[in-house]
Amino acid sequence: MSMFRQLSTIGLSFLTVCVAFSQTNPVASFEVASVKTGSDPNVYVGVGKSVQRAEPGRRIGCFGGPGTTDPGQWVCNSASLVTLITTAFKLQRYQFTPPDWMRTATFDIVAKIPRGSTAEQLRLMEQDLLATRFKLAVHFDEKEMPGYDLVIGKDGPKFKESADDPPDYTPPPTPRTMDWDRKEGYPILPPGNETVLWMLNGRVSNRWRKATMEELATYFAEQLQRPVDDATKLAAKYDVTLKFVQFPSPLPGTPIERDANGEILPQVVSSHPTFQEAVKSQLGLKLESKKATAKIMVIDHVEKVPVEN
């Protein structure tokens, strides 16, 4: 084969890969995006399909996109660079050890999403925004660390497979504010059976609808900050409820006790289960320790100040 034909073949193969990638991910960037440093009082916040100025007490974090009530817009309020990166790359916290400034520097973002985009395409758009506006460059390494296998306990699982919804079923709207049980201290889950993950003062009330064991293992990894692999061999989708204490803290409306130095004393709730206790007692599952290999993100370069709009 001549050198010309070899180069032509290589070029054609490269072109085929590029075309295949573009067909799989036809949209990889936002139509337009505004990125501002800090909490700008003039930032606009999406509400449903409308847009309005941010009000005091606005929610912190990123909202909107495919599968939400605002699929055409992605909004971040006072989001740290850590939040932006972990969301864009779908990372657990143990996969990424950022410097302190990346936790404290915050940004307000309003971005327009092309019509018909998927959740996976939104993540690619977020990655593109980080690369173009923050000049983010990363690579991944593997690291051995303690981990867990999620297995079934001796008495079997304590949750049921999800049933199909009636044809005329309409999910109730999720309340904009949460109420809490004044006796137990847990957030009160709203009516309906939709997935809701709520936390209030260290008390967590979670309800999953049509969840896979892999999805639960991912959430468990987030709580434990260690890799968790699903070893239950449960292949269906399930309705699961889990309540636990993430960290002891005073409940709203209760007297705050302080020590001699004026430091707040945490309220100890001995009758409430920790996360691992709740997994065992409420779900009939168990987390067995093991050695695991995790993919770790390493930042090669990132700018502290984003490229101007």
Per residue in 186-211, pLDDT (tens digit) is: 888 888 788 888 887 788 999 999 99
Structure tokens, 219: 């959430």
Q: What's the pLDDT at 194? A: 83
Q: Quick check: helix, strand or coil at residue 88?
A: helix
- Taking a C-beta distance cutoff of 8 angstroms, is the pair 149, 287 a contact? yes
- Taking a C-beta distance cutoff of 8 angstroms, is the pair 274, 247 a contact? no
What whole-number percentage of the chain has pLDDT above 90? 54
Query: What do you get for the CA distance between the two ends of the chain, in Å?
Result: 51
Between 103 and 148, residue with greater pLDDT: 148
Calculated CA dihedral for residues 116, 119, 121, 122, nearest 10 degrees:
100
Residue ranges of the domains in the chain? 23-134, 144-166+174-250+264-294
Give Rg (Cα) of the chain: 23
Q: What one-letter code names the amino acid at 263? A: E
CA 220 to CA 235: how far, in whole Å? 17
Question: Among 44-58, 59-73, 225-239, which is the least confidently predicted range?
Answer: 44-58
DSSP symbol at 87: H
> Looking up tokens 């709740």, which residue turns up?
278
The answer to whether the predicted template modeling score (pTM) of the entire model surpasses 0.75 is no
Closest-CA residue to 199 (of 252, 240, 238): 252
CA 2 to CA 114: how far, in whole Å? 45
CA 22 to CA 13: how far, in whole Å? 14
Beta strands of the chain (E only): which ranges?
32-37, 44-47, 50-53, 61-64, 73-80, 106-112, 137-152, 160-161, 196-200, 203-211, 228-230, 238-245, 285-301
> 60 pLDDT exceeds 80?
no
> 50 pLDDT exceeds 50?
no
Q: What is the pLDDT of residues 83-116, one digit of tens each?
A: 999 999 999 989 999 999 998 889 999 999 999 9
